[in-house]
Structure 1
């Protein structure tokens, strides 16, 4: 077995493993017991997704598509949230000014 993906945490490893399984690539997620070595602190870098040697190339292609689509979604989310951010600050400032005005 080869490491196809080094995940940040065990949850991400299982997400990628599920994606690979949906493409008929058998996976093994390693690092379950290493996660608890640090107690309640979220440790990173211990979880890996393993695949069979003959599935490694296909698995890395699927993972590359996953990472490319994930990055594009994050950029869109930031752009969509920007008007809301300004609106929230504007409403907060209006509320503070209204409270100051009502107290005089």
Structure 2
């Protein structure tokens, strides 16, 4: 097994995992079960996304094409409707 991506959080690790599994590449997440552990385990850490050696070149190309850790597009529309009134707000 080779590391194809080092994810800083669980969400990124699973995004990469699902992208690779969609291409029928087997994936193993190393360190996933240790996230948030107490005691001598770090509360936050790196999750390693690993694939078999044979498919590593294909997997690394897929991961490189993913939009991970990129700033949002400055010309993008905001997610909410800017013209909509907020309605009733709590006191």
TM-score normalized with structure 2 length = 0.68
- Checking the alignment, whether the CA contact within 8 Å between 1:10 and 1:31 is kept in structure 2 is no
Moved over 4 A (4+): none
- Mark the runs of 5 or more structure 1 residues left unpaired by the alignment: 88-104
Larger Rg: 1
**TM-score, reference length from structure 1:** 0.61
Aligned residue in 2 for 1:71? 70
User: What is the CA distance between 1:42 and its match in structure 2?
Assistant: 6.3
Residue number in structure 1 paired with 2:60: 60
Provide the C-alpha distance between the structure 1 equivalents of 2:51 and 2:76, rounded to a whole number of angstroms: 37
CA distance in 2 between partners of 1:19 and 1:30 (Å): 17
Q: What is the SS of the residue equivalent to 2:44?
A: coil
CA-based RMSD of the aligned residues comes to 2.9
1:16 match: 16
Match of 2:76 among 74, 80, 87: 80
